[in-house]
Amino acid sequence: MDKNKITIITRHDHTLQSIIDQCYELDMMEDFNIEGRIISQLAYLPIAQDSLIVTTSDLFIPAIKPYLAENAKIIVAQRCINHTNIRSMLEIPRGMKVLLVNDGKERALETIAMLKEMGIELEFYPYYPGETTYPQDITIAITPGEAKLVPSSIPKVIDIGSRVIDLATWIEIYAHFNYGMLDLRKLTSRFVKSVFYITQELSVEIQKANLLSMQLEVIVDRIEDGVLAIDEEDIIRSINHKALDVLHLQGRNVINQKASACIPAHFYQIIWQLPYEREEVMNWEGQTFFFRKTHITIEGRTFGYLILFRRASEINKLEHDYRRKLTNKGLFAKYTFNDLTGRSSSFKKLTGIAEKMAKSNTTVLLLGETGTGKELLAQAIHNASPRRWEPFVGVNFAAIAESLLESELFGYEEGSFTGAKKGGHIGLFEQAHKGTLFLDEIGDASPLIQNRLLRVLQEREIMKVGGNRVIPIDIRVIAATNRNLEQMVGDGLFRADLYYRLNVLPLYIPPLRKRKEDIPLLIQEFIKRVCHELKRPAFQFSQGAIEIMLQYGWPGNIRELENVIQYLGHIVDDVVLTEHLLFNREEKYSQVATDAYNHEFETMYQSYVSKGFIHEMQGILQTIKKANYAVGRNYIISQMRTQGWDITEQQLRYRLHLLKQDNLLEVGRGRQGSSLTKKGEEFICWMKE
């Protein structure tokens, strides 16, 4: 049987194309013989006599009438948006401003009305030829097949295609041909299928979105900061565990709730007032928090704001832990040449040479009395060298027990001795790989360690304790000592071959008494530091006091000068007078001094406690006090043994080093032994109290 004929007549080609596409999508070709014409084709493409005419506007009827049979039936189609094209529109965030572009004002408004009817919740602005104004922040245009009319400044264009024939018109067409109920059911089910197809697609999208949102939730929860996202309608969109904890909120049921109703009022007030894109410090429930507020922007449009916050104590702890790790490992060089104070010609000459040495890769040997700044200079050299981004590892040969030194320096393999850590241990040499190794107090290295060091410096490779693998290492060595190495070589106490390996670029740092010009500058520098530390106003030296400072011999060099200024920072109001300078006085250290030292003594005491040898320190100080004159190490060891303290020479050497560093002991002339300083005596009294 011949199928019923339909001729679809439109003005534009693209409209016709969309409707024909729709006919194929709905399988209309099964029921009808459909052909299409645009008005301009009618003159030369005749229409079959018995064809039903379907046109898209009654305005076209006068133009098409002359080409139709007398009794031809015309249906003016009602049109709707093609469902299959709306997906891309659904991806636009709700409420966003968009330009609706069509070829005339009515048609633009009509399309807007249709889209709204379909539930598309966007802020539409009609645009058509003749209309030139629209909000400049619009970035998306939607058009039913009129992409060519979209202003070129709009970056994103969504073409939803020309409108197609709606269901009511199709029913009218079926009725015209007297199709039965069965066919109508078929028709509606085809329509439903097309909608169902989008629903299916959307449901896959929704599943994907749900999965993504769950993944995001997990990620946001892993963030250590409190995270809170609030949209422009004050609705909480995201909140992580940390934020829930801080705000004492239960579960995630606050999501999608009004922020002002769920969040404690004071906290809400804080975040409301926060400036955008700036770190702010605020108090909440007696604790200090760091806050950051940021806009949430999608495609140029702001959808709300994000708050990140964290307790200041946690940040401080992180920083503290980080620094402690670096410092513990000794991997970090803090000082540069800019941190070295001095203007004397000898100092300038010294730093000039050191800067040149920094550029090379050769071993440097720093020689100089205690406290002259050898370690500072070693760090500055490292930081001015090509290795500055690599580790700076310091090892103090007076500080590490000999029994541990070898494993500390070279590391050990797992199971190499009882008590060895699982996984073994990486030694300081290996940690310094690519960087600088600072061998401090090298004159205190035992003969065994001297042997091992020599081998490493010759071979540039190490073998771990208990290991059989050779590990190549690339390090630059800077060694330092306050001992006379040359004489030690002569006395057979230091290996000559090691000495020559280390003594490639020797650098002698003169004692402070030989560069007095630096004293005023150093005084100024240390006053600045101590006043900053104690948060107190600056102070000055009287003429008399400065003269004494210049005359004094400074056996402890810059460290001693620094300690004197520290002390003065505690006891002087604004001018240092001669009587304040304890090394200039007979009676020394008054009660005032004790008060001033309280804080410092407490710190020292705690540091000895934490090292686990406060009682030994007390024993050493008491032994020296009892002797009442400068005593040598052997004397101290023997005296302590009679009191039940079993202490090795190495241990004693390290403890004496600390006591000297803290200015509790001083080394007698000619290095015959150690005696108590007045500060040391004060410390003993302080401990008794």
Ligand X SMILES: Nc1ncnc2c1ncn2[C@@H]1O[C@H](COP(=O)(O)OP(=O)(O)OP(=O)(O)O)[C@@H](O)[C@H]1O
482 part of the interface to ligand X, by CB under 6 A: yes
Q: How far is the C-alpha of 642 from the C-alpha of 532, rounded, in Å?
A: 47
374 part of the interface to ligand X, by CB under 6 A: yes
| Span 261-280, contacts to ligand X by CB under 6 A | none
445 part of the interface to ligand X, by CB under 6 A: no
Of residues 375 and 406, the one with the C-beta less far from ligand X: 375
Q: Which stretch binds ligand X (CB under 6 A): 76-84, 171-179, 335-343, 630-638?
A: 335-343
Of residues 473 and 509, the one with the C-beta less far from ligand X: 509
Q: How many CA atoms, within 13 angstroms, populate the side-chain half-sphere of residue 296?
A: 18
Partnered with residue 507 across adjacent β-strands are 366
Q: How many CB atoms lie within 10 A of CB 142?
A: 26
Of residues 79 and 679, the one with the C-beta less far from ligand X: 679
Of residues 20 and 350, the one with the C-beta less far from ligand X: 350
Residues 6+ away with beta carbon under 8 Å from 665: 621, 624, 656, 659, 674, 675, 676, 677, 680
| Span 523-542, contacts to ligand X by CB under 6 A | 525
Of residues 79 and 374, the one with the C-beta less far from ligand X: 374
Closest CA to 86 of 213, 201, 169: 201
Provide long-range contacts, Cβ within 8 A and 24+ apart, for 355-361.
355/384, 357/381, 357/505, 357/507, 358/382, 358/384, 358/385, 359/384, 359/385, 359/386, 360/505, 361/385, 361/386, 361/476
Of residues 34 and 354, the one with the C-beta less far from ligand X: 354
342 part of the interface to ligand X, by CB under 6 A: yes
443 part of the interface to ligand X, by CB under 6 A: no
Q: How far is the C-alpha of 93 from the C-alpha of 507, rounded, in Å?
A: 70
Q: Which stretch binds ligand X (CB under 6 A): 223-231, 280-288, 554-562, 662-670?
A: 554-562
Give alpha helix (H) positions in 334-470. 345-359, 374-383, 402-410, 428-431, 447-459
For every residue of 419-434, which 3-state class applies, written as one string? CCCCCCEECHHHHCCC
Q: Which stretch binds ligand X (CB under 6 A): 51-59, 149-157, 266-274, 338-346?
A: 338-346
Of residues 230 and 354, the one with the C-beta less far from ligand X: 354
Q: Judge contact between 527 and 569, C-beta under 8 A.
A: yes
161 part of the interface to ligand X, by CB under 6 A: no
Of residues 371 and 673, the one with the C-beta less far from ligand X: 371
Residue 93 carries which DSSP code? P
* Residues shown for the chain: 689
371 part of the interface to ligand X, by CB under 6 A: yes
Name the minimum Å distance from CB 449 to ligand X: 18
Among 225, 375, 666, 682, binds ligand X (CB under 6 A): 375
Of residues 84 and 346, the one with the C-beta less far from ligand X: 346
Token pair, residue 73, equals 């039936």
Q: Which stretch binds ligand X (CB under 6 A): 169-177, 206-214, 374-382, 675-683?
A: 374-382
Among 4, 7, 370, 431, binds ligand X (CB under 6 A): 370
Among 51, 143, 372, 436, binds ligand X (CB under 6 A): 372
Among 33, 84, 194, 341, binds ligand X (CB under 6 A): 341
376 part of the interface to ligand X, by CB under 6 A: yes
Name the minimum Å distance from CB 344 to ligand X: 10
Of residues 107 and 515, the one with the C-beta less far from ligand X: 515
Name the minimum Å distance from CB 457 to ligand X: 21
Number of residues that bind ligand X (CB under 6 A): 16
Residue with tokens 């007095």: 516
Q: How far is the C-alpha of 24 from the C-alpha of 20, rounded, in Å?
A: 6
> What is the three-class DSSP state of 513?
helix
Of residues 370 and 663, the one with the C-beta less far from ligand X: 370
Name the minimum Å distance from CB 635 to ligand X: 22
Q: Which stretch binds ligand X (CB under 6 A): 36-44, 235-243, 286-294, 555-563?
A: 555-563
Of residues 368 and 435, the one with the C-beta less far from ligand X: 368
Q: How far is the C-alpha of 177 from the C-alpha of 394, rounded, in Å?
A: 99
Give alpha helix (H) positions in 163-180. 167-176
Q: C-alpha distances in angstroms, 630 versus 45, 132, 583, 626, 635?
A: 125, 98, 18, 11, 10
Burial pattern 578-587, b for ≥16 Cβ within 10 A else e, equals: bebbbeeeee
Name the minimum Å distance from CB 612 to ligand X: 22
Q: C-alpha distances in angstroms, 190 versus 23, 210, 224?
A: 11, 30, 53
Name the minimum Å distance from CB 365 to ligand X: 13
655 part of the interface to ligand X, by CB under 6 A: no
Among 406, 562, 666, 682, binds ligand X (CB under 6 A): 562
For every residue of 448-511, which 3-state class applies, written as one string? HHHHHHHHHHHHCEEECECCCCEEECCCEEEEEECCCHHHHHHCCCCCHHHHHHHCCEEEECCC
Q: Which stretch binds ligand X (CB under 6 A): 81-89, 180-188, 365-373, 408-416?
A: 365-373
Among 373, 427, 619, 680, binds ligand X (CB under 6 A): 373
Q: Judge contact between 578 and 545, C-beta under 8 A.
A: yes
Q: How far is the C-alpha of 381 from the C-alpha of 458, rounded, in Å?
A: 22
Q: Which stretch binds ligand X (CB under 6 A): 292-300, 317-325, 443-451, 556-564?
A: 556-564
Q: Which stretch binds ligand X (CB under 6 A): 111-119, 371-379, 401-409, 487-495?
A: 371-379
Closest CA to 382 of 434, 446, 460: 434
Q: Estimate the crossing angle of helix 591-611 against helix 557-571, to 10 degrees.
A: 120
559 part of the interface to ligand X, by CB under 6 A: yes
Q: Judge contact between 433 and 379, C-beta under 8 A.
A: no
Name the minimum Å distance from CB 510 to ligand X: 11
Of residues 28 and 564, the one with the C-beta less far from ligand X: 564
Q: How far is the C-alpha of 252 from the C-alpha of 441, rounded, in Å?
A: 60
* 629 φ/ψ sector (left φ>0, alpha ψ -120 to 50, else beta): beta
Name the minimum Å distance from CB 368 to ligand X: 6
Of residues 376 and 437, the one with the C-beta less far from ligand X: 376
* 383 φ/ψ sector (left φ>0, alpha ψ -120 to 50, else beta): alpha
Of residues 207 and 327, the one with the C-beta less far from ligand X: 327
Name the minimum Å distance from CB 263 to ligand X: 49
Q: Which stretch binds ligand X (CB under 6 A): 6-14, 281-289, 339-347, 586-594?
A: 339-347
558 part of the interface to ligand X, by CB under 6 A: yes
The CB-nearest residue to ligand X is 373
566 part of the interface to ligand X, by CB under 6 A: no
Of residues 124 and 552, the one with the C-beta less far from ligand X: 552
* Cα three-residue angle 169-174-179, rounded to 5 degrees: 160
Q: List contacts with ligand X (CB under 6 A).
A: 340-342, 368, 370-376, 482, 525, 558-559, 562
